Amino acid sequence: MVLHVWAHAGQEAERRVLQAQLERFNQQSDESQLKLTFIPERDYNAQVQAAALAGDLPDLLEFDGPYLYNYIWQQHLIPLEDLLPPALLDDLLPSIVAQGRYAGHLYSVGVYDSGLGLYARQSALQQIGARIPASAGDAWSIDEFNQILGKLAARDSDQAVLDIKLNYTGEWYTYGFSPLLQSAGADLIERRSYRVSDGSINNAAAVSAMQQLQSWIQQGYVDPNLDDAAFAGGRVALSWVGHWEYERYRHAHDTDLLVLPLPDFGQGSRTGQGSWNWGISRASRHPQVAAQFIEFLMRTDEVLAMCDANGAVPGIKSAVQQSTLYGGQGPLALFAAQLTHGVSVPRPKTPAYPVITTEFQNAFQQIRNGGDAQQALNAAAQKIDQDIADNQGYPFIEQ
Amino acid sequence: MKNTQLAWLFVLPALSGLLCFVLFPFVLSLILSFTNLRLGSPLPLEFVGFKQYQRIFTDAAFLAALRNNSLFALIVVPLQTGLALLMALLVNQPLRGMVIFRSVFFMPVVFPLSLVAVVWILVLAPGPQGLLNQLLETVTLGAWQARDFLHDSAWALAAISLTSIWQGVGFQMVILLAALQGIPQALYEAARVDGANQWQQFVFITLPQLRNAIIFVVLVTTILAFRLFDQVQIMTQGGPNHATTTIMYEAVNSAFGSQQVARAAAMTVVFFIVVLLLTLLQRAVGRQQGVN
């Protein structure tokens, strides 16, 4: 029997590891063969949606974080708790379980979770005499952060001292910047019933937080990063990005590299979580074999192999403990700590997520280009609420 | 009788293709625009009358898209046609090496639009290091202040127009060149005998002879101007503040970003009506000035 597996075409190292894992799994079994297809990351969600509509989903596939819930709502996935061993389920990070659970069942498992923070060059910060935060609870306040930006800019020839990956497109903006809203006391949507965005995404706290970000861009502190080498090339001292840049930044700056929490906009430093996760489609005729492959990928040494390749936080507790990057005093221990101590906030667990993220991205683009923040966020709230109303609140119809 | 039957038989393959891939989807689109169809929703489909049309005509983004498409057509069509005519006239000179110029002018047409858009993002890079900024600063002897073209609501549409003209002018040039080479030399000789100078020859012989080709080029460019999508998707994503959003971009975003297929269908119906009206208008204007 042949099973089809779809994965996102991430960094080259990730692809190599997954390919090798698949080949090893195929060698173990005589009867079943897994065939892997890589799909470019930018169009991944569109491709999966198109396949879902055509009834052409593969047996096993990845989902990009909170896009999962829309597919669960469309009834394309099956629960996994009966297909996976209890020992594995116990070993999962709480954030992985929270990500995969919806309407009372576990529909997906992530091999790794994500980390988001502020990379910095220690030498640059020492030059201006800035305090180095020791943990997320110790993060820079927004006033401190503004002062640091000003001091760094005074010493920088082109005034640009911060990289927020403006060259990225798509989901990055929601992942990277909704923690800004949460840190200020706002949110993308209210989390009790997930029905109303008005009042959360466009309240005074949200507007002032986005205006802060707008002021950094308008004062020229932000590098447009067209060549994606602003931090790695040493042009800027700070880079607001996730775990996937760790390897490259470490190669560029070695011991000068610091990993710091995001600044505190008032309610405490907040950061993002959630990443690619595996689910089994309802149309699969061999769910047990697909589940066996998930089990294989979640073995401690396999998880560590993948996380060594992409720098992500391992999805099982045993792997985090053994990891040189994330365990104990490792350089990325901050990311693991943020996930386990509630500093990270999951993106909204609702089938409305595709619309929420599209509208927030649109609002972000307007704000980044100097538009009125209140208007942009109001428009986003209006569109999101209209969509949720159109879909009658996304009622979950049990099959 | 037999000839008519034979004619229908010959036309049948193309006609069925047209029916299958153009007429049928359009009729479906029309029907869907009166429903509330969403992408992949397990909820039942409902007919909602003109609600989608009400929504899109009160949506700031869609109205901006209509305005932008019209503005883009008004800028690009005369500029691109004029430039193409100029280039065709230049390349038509019987000088050595004209083939090289012809190929070079035509080359941008061969590149995929997305590739052109990506390269032009670099050309339009903000700050004094950006190519275009540097060029303008040199040309104006330092008077030019560096701008972020793609993120400035005053300049974004102009930047996209520039990219589009650069990419498309070669195609129009080739069409006009072919028409130009079809003008009989006898007409020019007769004019010279009558004492006409270069300018008079251009206005009274070249332009009238090129009339059909120019009408064709203007029509095609206008329709293509309303189909603007690739550059917007890659370079500005409809921003800043809806300054560059277009009907196609709004429709694709509605269907695949916001999962509102019926809304996107309504937008494409409006698009069809606009293009239809434009085509009829241009044909009417073209006919008024004499027999085709």
Tens digit of each residue's pLDDT (9 = 90 or more) over A330-385: 888 899 889 888 899 999 999 999 889 989 998 998 899 888 999 999 999 999 99
Q: Chain B neighbours among A 377-396 (CB < 8 Å)?
A: 379, 383, 387, 390-392, 395
pLDDT tens digits for A109-160?
Answer: 999 999 999 999 999 999 999 999 988 899 999 999 999 999 999 998 888 9
Whole-angstrom Cα distance, residue B165 to residue B238?
Answer: 19
Question: What backbone torsions phi and psi does residue B188 show, to the nearest 5 degrees?
Answer: -65, -40
- In this structure, what is the dihedral angle of CA atoms A273, A275, A281, A282, given to the nearest 10 degrees? 0
Whole-angstrom Cα distance, residue A175 to residue A177?
Answer: 6
Residue of A308 and A164 predicted with greater confidence: A164
**Residue A171 is assigned to a structural domain of this protein:** yes
CB-based contact B239 A75, cutoff 8 Å: no
Which of B40, B122, B125 comes nearest A52 by C-beta? Answer: B40
Whole-angstrom Cα distance, residue B12 to residue A282?
Answer: 43
Whole-angstrom Cα distance, residue B34 to residue B42?
Answer: 19
Q: Work out the angle at residue B151's Cα, subtended by the Cα atoms of residues B145 and B155, and round it to the nearest 5 degrees.
A: 60
Q: Which of A311, A332, A365 is the last residue of a domain?
A: A311
Contact A18, A312 (CB under 8 A): no
- Chain B contact present for A368, CB below 8 A: yes
CB-based contact B253 A358, cutoff 8 Å: yes
**pLDDT value of position B292:** 46
Segments of B29-120 assigned E as strands: none
- Chain B contact present for A46, CB below 8 A: yes
* Highest mean pLDDT, choosing among A10-14, A34-38, A40-44: A34-38
Whole-angstrom Cα distance, residue A296 to residue A293?
Answer: 5
- Chain B contact present for A91, CB below 8 A: no
Domain that holds residue A61: 2-109+276-311
The CATH number of the structural domain formed by B51-288 is 1.10.3720.10
Residues of chain B with C-beta less than 8 angstroms from the C-beta of A46: 256
**pLDDT value of position B1:** 63
Mutate to test the interface with A, among B37, B39, B133, B152 (most CBs of A within 10 A): B39
Over residues A240-250, mean pLDDT = 90
Which of A75, A158, A354 comes nearest B259 by C-beta? Answer: A354
Over residues A253-266, mean pLDDT = 93
Can the peptide bond before residue A263 be classed as cis, meaning omega within 30 degrees of 0? Answer: no
Residues A123 and A184 in one domain: yes
**Residue of chain A with shortest Cα separation from B242:** A366
Mutate to test the interface with B, among A362, A383, A387 (most CBs of B within 10 A): A362
Residues A251 and A282 in one domain: no
Residues A296 and A240 in one domain: no
Question: What backbone torsions phi and psi does residue B22 show, to the nearest 5 degrees?
Answer: -120, -55
CB-based contact A379 B148, cutoff 8 Å: no
Residues A227 and A287 in one domain: no
DSSP one-letter code for A68: H
Which of A74, A226, A366 comes nearest B240 by C-beta? Answer: A366
Name the H helices within chain A: 12-28, 44-54, 68-73, 86-91, 94-100, 122-128, 142-154, 172-184, 204-218, 246-253, 287-297, 300-310, 317-322, 333-340, 353-368, 373-390
Over residues A317-341, mean pLDDT = 87
**Residue A318 is assigned to a structural domain of this protein:** no
- Chain B contact present for A365, CB below 8 A: yes
Distance from CA of B30 to the nearest CA of A (A): 20
Distance from CA of A366 to the nearest CA of B (A): 5
Residues A96 and A197 in one domain: no
**Residue A24 is assigned to a structural domain of this protein:** yes
Residues of B with CB under 8 A from a CB of A: 36, 38-43, 60, 121-122, 125-127, 148, 151-153, 237-241, 253, 256-260
Whole-angstrom Cα distance, residue B247 to residue B237?
Answer: 13
Six-digit token string for B208: 């009238």
Residues A283 and A229 in one domain: no
- The residues, ordered by sequence, that sit 6+ positions from A107 with a Cβ below 8 Å of its Cβ are A68, A72, A77, A78, A79, A80, A100, A101, A279
- Domain tally, chain A: 2
Residues A285 and A189 in one domain: no
Residues A248 and A177 in one domain: yes
Whole-angstrom Cα distance, residue A344 to residue B62?
Answer: 37
Q: Give CA separation, B65 vs A124, A240, B228, B242, in Å.
A: 45, 33, 10, 7
**pLDDT value of position A398:** 67
**Residue A226 is assigned to a structural domain of this protein:** yes
**Residue A339 is assigned to a structural domain of this protein:** no
| Spans of all domains in chain B | 51-288
Name the H helices within A101-234: 122-128, 142-154, 172-184, 204-218
What is the phi-psi region of residue A97: left when phi exceeds 0, alpha when psi lies from -120 to 50, beta otherwise? alpha
- The residues, ordered by sequence, that sit 6+ positions from A166 with a Cβ below 8 Å of its Cβ are A222, A223, A224, A225, A368
Whole-angstrom Cα distance, residue A22 to residue A283?
Answer: 21
What is the phi-psi region of residue B43: left when phi exceeds 0, alpha when psi lies from -120 to 50, beta otherwise? beta
Contact B172, B80 (CB under 8 A): yes
Over residues A34-42, mean pLDDT = 91
Q: How many CA atoms lie within 13 A of A177 on its CB side?
A: 28
Please tell me the least confidently modeled range out of A33-37, A221-225, B98-102, B150-154. B150-154
Residues A51 and A83 in one domain: yes
Whether the model clears a pTM of 0.90, i.e. scores above it, the answer is no
Q: In 3D, which of A281, A333, A306, A367 has the Cα closest to residue A58?
A: A281
**pLDDT value of position A331:** 86
Fill in the amino acid letter for B172.
Answer: Q
CB-based contact B42 A73, cutoff 8 Å: yes
CB-based contact A368 B151, cutoff 8 Å: yes
CB-based contact A362 B238, cutoff 8 Å: yes
CB-based contact A369 B40, cutoff 8 Å: no
Mutate to test the interface with B, among A167, A383, A390 (most CBs of B within 10 A): A390
Residues of chain B with C-beta less than 8 angstroms from the C-beta of A73: 42
Decide: residue A288, CB within 10 A, 0-12 exposed, 13-18 middle, 19+ buried: exposed
Size of interface A-B (CB pairs under 8 A): 66
CB-based contact B60 A379, cutoff 8 Å: yes
**Residue A344 is assigned to a structural domain of this protein:** no
CB-based contact A224 B127, cutoff 8 Å: yes
- The residues, ordered by sequence, that sit 6+ positions from B273 with a Cβ below 8 Å of its Cβ are none
Q: ipTM score here?
A: 0.74
Residues A180 and A224 in one domain: yes
Six-digit token string for B68: 């932008």
Please give the share of chain A, as a percent, with pLDDT higher than 90: 69
**pLDDT value of position A43:** 80
pLDDT tens digits for A70-123?
Answer: 999 989 999 999 999 999 999 999 899 999 999 899 999 999 999 999 999 999
What is the phi-psi region of residue A162: left when phi exceeds 0, alpha when psi lies from -120 to 50, beta otherwise? beta
Those residues of chain B that have pLDDT short of 50 are: 290-292
Residues A123 and A30 in one domain: no
Residues A247 and A383 in one domain: yes
**Residue of chain B with shortest Cα separation from A53:** B40
**Residue A300 is assigned to a structural domain of this protein:** yes
Six-digit token string for A242: 């996730």
CATH code of the domain in which A307 resides: 3.40.190.10
User: Within 10 Å of residue B53's Cβ, how many Cβ atoms?
Assistant: 16
Q: Chain B neighbours among A 217-276 (CB < 8 Å)?
A: 224, 226
Helix then strand then coil, in percent of chain A rounded to 5, is: 45, 15, 40
Distance from CA of B41 to the nearest CA of A (A): 6
Distance from CA of B258 to the nearest CA of A (A): 5
Six-digit token string for B160: 């996209």
